[in-house]
Amino acid sequence: MERLLVVDDEPTVRELLSATLRFAGFAVDSAATGAEAVESVLDRRPDLILLDVMLPDLDGFQVVRKLRELARPPVPVLFLTARDSPADKVTGLTLGGDDYVTKPFDLAELLARIRAILRRTGFPHAHALVVGDLEVDVEGHHVQRAGIPVRLSPTEFRLLCYLADHAGRVVSKTRIIQDVWQYDFAGDTSIVDTYVSYLRRKLEPTGPRLIHTVHGVGYVLREPR
């Protein structure tokens, strides 16, 4: 049974969500503040956090930053908030959020998004992926290149696992959106380009290129020639 953590300072929302998720078959913990959320994650280790952005102490973005420092491997996060500006959504996803849902929301759609995140956070097909001097420990959420550890956000890690699992094969941006993100970006695949650039900065600061652009198609990760 997957364990979820609901973080919202509104008791009505928190109780409604918790009851709905328990009825759907999940184990559920809840927190009303950012500090409580951090403590709960470190103590109970949920499989997914449903996190409001507007909290009375730390905001949701600060909570994620703090958890990225303390919780290894990072816990998947679904932002659930009334803040619906594009800038807030970009901030949430850039920090490593796995999805961003605005209030008011449809419970059936929310459940579908939760299940999609839980499916894809366990999608890699191997315990370890090795491409040249790149090593990805899937279960340990550890990446190193030429023996040097590389820190990645959860979304960066999933994308890298996907590319490494398809090493030597060109994958389209549309396919990456479908398999890694698994939700609709309304035909906009620029998020893939953004995260590939993040990976390149972290994986290729001095070494030869691993992730190659195939113009008009997508990307391929292959051993340097």
Q: Which residue, 77, 106, 122, sits at the end of a domain?
A: 122
Residues 143 and 76 in one domain: no
Note if the bond before 73 is cis, omega within 30 degrees: yes
The number of CA neighbours under 13 Å toward the Cβ of 67 is 32
Task: Give pLDDT tens digits for 111-144.
Answer: 888 988 887 775 444 467 888 889 998 777 789 9
Chain mean pLDDT for the chain? 86
Report the domain count for the chain: 2
Q: Which residues touch 148 (CB under 8 Å, ≥6 apart)? A: none
Residues 28 and 7 in one domain: yes
Distance CA 57, CA 60 (A): 9
Per-residue pLDDT of the chain (225 residues; tens, 9 = 90+): 688 999 999 999 999 999 999 988 888 999 999 999 999 998 888 999 999 999 999 888 999 988 888 866 778 999 988 887 888 888 888 887 888 888 888 888 898 889 888 877 754 444 678 888 899 987 777 899 988 899 998 889 889 988 998 888 899 998 888 778 765 555 678 889 999 999 999 998 867 899 999 998 999 999 887
Structural domain including 200 reads 128-221
Q: Which residue, 122, 157, 183, sits at the end of a domain?
A: 122
CATH of the domain at 91: 3.40.50.2300
Cα 218 to Cα 22, 183, 199, 212: the distances in Å are 40, 18, 15, 9
Distance CA 110, CA 198 (A): 28
Residues 74 and 139 in one domain: no
Contacts 24+ apart (CB under 8 A), 200-209: 202/150, 202/151, 202/152, 202/156, 203/134, 203/145, 203/150, 203/160, 207/133, 207/145, 207/146
Q: What angle do CA 29, 30, 32 make, to 5 degrees?
A: 165
Residues 153 and 183 in one domain: yes
Residues 90 and 141 in one domain: no
pLDDT, residue 186, reads 54
pLDDT, residue 126, reads 46
Residues 9 and 105 in one domain: yes
Residues 114 and 205 in one domain: no
Residues 39 and 118 in one domain: yes
Cα 8 to Cα 18, 34, 100: the distances in Å are 11, 9, 15
Task: Give pLDDT tens digits for 150-178.
Answer: 999 888 988 998 899 888 889 999 888 87
CATH of the domain at 196: 1.10.10.10
To which H or E segment does residue 113 belong? helix 107-120
Residues 75 and 99 in one domain: yes
Residues 42 and 102 in one domain: yes
Residues 135 and 106 in one domain: no
Q: Which residue, 59, 92, 122, sits at the end of a domain?
A: 122
Tokens of residue 206, six digits: 């001095």
Residues 112 and 191 in one domain: no
